[in-house]
Amino acid sequence: MLKRIHHIGIVVPDLDAAYGFWRDTLGLAFEKEATVVDQGVRAALLRCGESEIELLEPIDSKSGVGRFLERRGGGLHHICFETDDVAAELEGARKRGLSLIDEAPRAGLAGQICFLHPRSCAGVLVEYAEP
């Protein structure tokens, strides 16, 4: 069962510069930052009430986020829903015939994660996370 919107992912060309708006101007509370090499990003989570904003700076131009930035520029990248069981949600999506990006859960900044392909999600990249 999906519990809430965990975070909204936003691609930025420069994470340090993006802090100027999201943290300093809006006052969102910094939670954590990490480089996620297998996803080719430097990422940060900033708290907004019960949800978070995830800022994603590509460190690899060939990664999905790097290609996104090259094609579209910075902006809204994905929506992430929190669940208590990513594996079960992923299996449910598979059984419903949705196109998957991940065949199994993997480690991410938000915990165990997986992505569903936008072609099965009304054009939106959807992530599930089990913090």
Please write the tens of the pLDDT for every residue from 2-36.
Answer: 999 999 999 999 999 999 999 999 999 999 999 99
Question: In this structure, are residues 113 and 104 in contact, taking their beta carbons and an 8 Å threshold?
Answer: no
Mean local confidence (pLDDT), 49-66:
96
What are the start-end ranges of the E strands in 12-64?
Answer: 29-36, 41-48, 51-58
CA angle 89, 96, 129 (to 5 degrees): 20
Quick: pLDDT tens for 84-129: 999 999 999 999 999 999 999 999 999 999 999 999 999 999 999 9
CA dihedral over 34, 35, 36, 39, signed as positive or negative: positive
Token pair recorded at residue 120? 């099965």
- With cut-offs at 50, 70 and 90, classify the pLDDT of residue 77: very high
Phi, psi of 60 (to 5 degrees): -135, 115
Sign of CA dihedral 106, 90, 2, 4: positive
Q: What is the pTM for the complete model shown?
A: 0.93
Name the CATH topology of 2-130.
Answer: 2,3-Dihydroxybiphenyl 1,2-Dioxygenase; domain 1 (3.10.180)
Q: How confident is the model at residue 80 (pLDDT cuts 50, 70, 90)?
A: very high
pLDDT at 44: 97
What are the structural domain ranges in the chain? 2-130
